[in-house]
Amino acid sequence: MSSFVFTCILGAALMHALWNILLKSASDKNLETAVANFATAILALPLLVIYGLPDPQTFPYIALSIALHLIYFYLVASAYRFGDLNLAYPIMRGAAPLLTLLFGYMFLREQVSDGVIAGIFLVSAGVILLGLRKTSTSAHHLKALLFALTNALVIALYTIVDGHGVRLSNNAWSYVSLLMFSHGCVFLSLVLWQRRRQQLLPESFSYIKSRLIYPLIGGTCIIGSYSVALWAMTQAPISLVAAVRETSVLFAFLFGTLYLKESPYTQRIIGALGICLGLILIRIY
């Protein structure tokens, strides 16, 4: 992996952390997630016009990815209802690279060096250490943990699906733009349909109006982060990109500690050091 690609993925990680931080502050996480994803659809439309549609052979991958992302965002919102940012986020993001490494070998026969494997394990272990401890704000610790672990599986699955799909497309930006446009429209439509059945549309629109700037920023972070990650997967092994992207948890950890007053302790510090060591191994090998 070149220094340029490595730096780009770190930038994507920062954007991903910012989006999760904004979502954690929302009182209606499902609705805010839907609006943020609709913002990605708006941002993706010009890219779709510029780059056009991807190869038709990628359409099944995009359809499967949309379904997996819908499950992912539901599980993210559910995990954050029951656990603090420094619990749910590290667990779901930490276990995913190990599963991605396994699935990448099983389904794509993708191989990486022993040094990279060791680095991925260190990154995952470090990320998990940042979250595996009950805190005073985690009254529903077990529920948050289950949602987060289930989401790790979903993350690994959509990473493999999109990583392979974007390689087949021969143009990362056309694949990303169609994926984000389709997903954003579908997600918001489903949420508003559900709110209409529950007769909650007036309250929903009022909430959107009061919080509009946050999902707009979040949508920008979503499309920026995932676009860069998928492009990077055309330049480097999928499992390697997935692991480096999980450095987003370091940014979330720092923000949660400094601004949200979530508790830092020795285990989390060790986890952060483990992530840094893992990144060094990945970069060297």
Query: What tens digit of pLDDT does each residue of 174-200 get?
Result: 999 999 999 999 999 999 998 998 888
Q: Tokens 């007769």 map to which residue?
A: 199
* Gap between the Cα atoms of 83 and 260, Å rounded: 13
Q: Choose among 79, 125, 85: nearest CA to 101.
A: 125
Q: Using only the alpha carbons of the chain, give its radius of gyration.
A: 18
Q: Choose among 158, 178, 218: nearest CA to 25.
A: 218
- The mean-pLDDT minimum among 112-116, 120-124, 229-233, 258-262 falls in 258-262
Question: What does pTM read for this prediction?
Answer: 0.88
> What is the count of structural domains for the chain?
1
Query: Is the pLDDT confidence value at 249 over 90?
Result: no
* Gap between the Cα atoms of 262 and 134, Å rounded: 12
Q: For the chain, what is the mean pLDDT?
A: 88
pLDDT grade, residue 44 (50/70/90)?
very high
Helix locations, 52-140, DSSP H: 59-82, 85-108, 114-129
Look up the domain containing 215 and give its range.
3-284
Query: What tens digit of pLDDT does each residue of 209-248 get?
Result: 888 899 899 999 999 999 999 999 999 999 999 999 988 8
Task: Identify the pLDDT of residue 140.
Answer: 61
* Gap between the Cα atoms of 171 and 169, Å rounded: 5
Query: Is the pLDDT confidence value at 135 over 60?
Result: no
